[in-house]
Structures are given as C-alpha cells and as structure tokens.
Chains A and B, each alone.
Chain A
C-alpha cells in the first residue's frame, strides 16, 4: 500500500499518521499542500489532524482550497481511498468530499480524552473491527459537532454510512456521529484519532486495526 500524508501549515498529526501507516507496512510519502500532484501509485491519501491555517475563517476552510486538494478530489473521484482525521475530517467536509459540517462543540469546551465508539459502518477502513464492536480512541477537538441537513442524516443512516458513533456524545454531534463515509465508502472522515492508538504505550491500540484493514484492502490480488 502506498500512502500519501498531506501537510498543511498548522497540521500537527501528520507525523503520527505517517508512523501509523508505516507501522501497518505501507510505503509512506509526505506531500506538501502546495504540491499539485500525488505520488504515482498512491492508494490512500491521509489528511491529518491539527489546526491547518490556524483555523482561520472556519476549521479546514482554507486547507480545503489548497493546491493539492484538486489532486485529492481527483483521486477520490477515481475510487481512491482518502482518510481525514479530526482537522482532516473538517477539510474533507469543506472540500465537499463528505457531506455535512463540523461545528463548535455544543459545550464550547475543547475536549481531549479517550472515548468509547461503536462501529456502525462497513468499509475498507472499519472492517478490521466487528460490526457493533465497542472500541476506544482518543479525541482532541474544539469543533467536532457534526451537523447536516435532516435529509442528509437520514440518507447517511439509510445507506449505512455512519462509520462510527460515540457511545456517549462529547460534542453535540447529530445522532452521535463520530465518522462518516462517502457514497462509494472509500472516503472516511472521523473526529477520533486512530493514529494516536496504535500501540499499548499510547494507552490503547484499537486504532491499529484501521490501518491493518486498509493494508489488506489495498494488497495486490
């Protein structure tokens, strides 16, 4: 699996994400936001967490219009995998690659803690966990309150595109949504940080299954 991790000014989980991909056995390329092409043969694009462009205007808004994002959109359009974590999720919604928006946490506080999640969507990202499994991943965000129009939420539910749900809602997100999939299930955005939970020394390793599952999905037949 060839993974490309994008770095924007203000990204701060890009190295962690690169380490998580590499630990699963991927070849990892680091890509700067001003680049206009992804490395040849890229299977998976990772949009990392952080505070791209200082969260100016809206979280992820400016990064979503960075030069590299046209190549990311083209990659997604031809069925490539894309994962956006935390700020990366915000970037993907701002770029229109996923529906909805991430708003300020309902409690107005930055929330930084491990949370329990229920796996509710089938995809190459989540198939390393059993459906309905309860897993634990860290969250760390101020704007993770997922909202979308009622008909969009109904459609996501109907198509089984809610990948992960909070066991206890930390931010006011509609229907406890922690992560959503694109229509072709190859783009995932999620607020929790699987890359911060890949080995026991990090306090938990439930995130490793996501990278391992992706590795399996992209292995040559």
Chain B
C-alpha cells in the first residue's frame, strides 16, 4: 500500500521560495501568475494492508516527523 503525503506551509505563513518562483515565472513572460506556494510530496510504501490503519499510522508519522505543524499543514492520501 502506498501513502502520499502533501506538506505545505500554512496559509498566512510567508513562502519566500514560492515568491521567488512566481517572480521567475513572470520574468519568463508568463503573465497573470498571481501566487505560487511551494511544498513537498512524500511517497511512502507500507507493508500494511488495512487502509484505515495505514492512514492512522501515516498521520502519526506526519505529527512526529514529516511536518512541522508550527508552520506546515499536511494531507494524507492512501493510493
């Protein structure tokens, strides 16, 4: 079973890297790029066979390590 974890900065937290990407896209001539937010996508292969148990375990991983919940939010998808 595979889990896909998306980690993004929380709304309201400034993202200087996303802002730099936005400026670079503008410099390349892509007009109308109003905002860019940059995050992480983490794929985890699991031995678990139970979806609910797998999701609960991955959520625990997010709380303990994968996300810093002071500044980041996360979403877990079992695929």
**Residues of A at under 8 Å CB distance from B?**
57-58, 61-62, 65, 93-94, 99-101, 103-108, 145, 147-149, 172
Contact = CB atoms under 8 A, between A and B. Distances in A.
A148 B16 CA distance: 16
Interface residues on B, range: 10 to 19
B64 A108 contact: no
B16 A101 contact: no
Contact of B65 (A65, A101, A103, A145): A65
A58 to B, nearest CB: 6
A56 to B, nearest CB: 11
Given A106-B16, A145-B16, A172-B16, 18 more contacts: A58-B68, A61-B65, A61-B68, A62-B65, A65-B65, A93-B70, A94-B68, A101-B70, A103-B14, A103-B16, A104-B17, A107-B16, A108-B16, A147-B14, A147-B71, A148-B70, A149-B70, A172-B14
Interface in B12-49: 13-14, 16-17, 20
Nearest to B38: A104
B68 to A, nearest CB: 6
Main secondary structure of the interface of A (DSSP, over half): loop
Nearest to B9: A103
Contacts, number: 36
A65 B64 contact: yes
A105 B16 contact: yes
B70 A57 contact: no
A104 B16 CA distance: 7
Contacts of B16: 103-108, 145, 172
A103 B71 CA distance: 9
A65 B68 CA distance: 13
Contacts of B65: 57, 61-62, 65
Contact of A147 (B13, B17, B64): B13
A100 B70 contact: yes
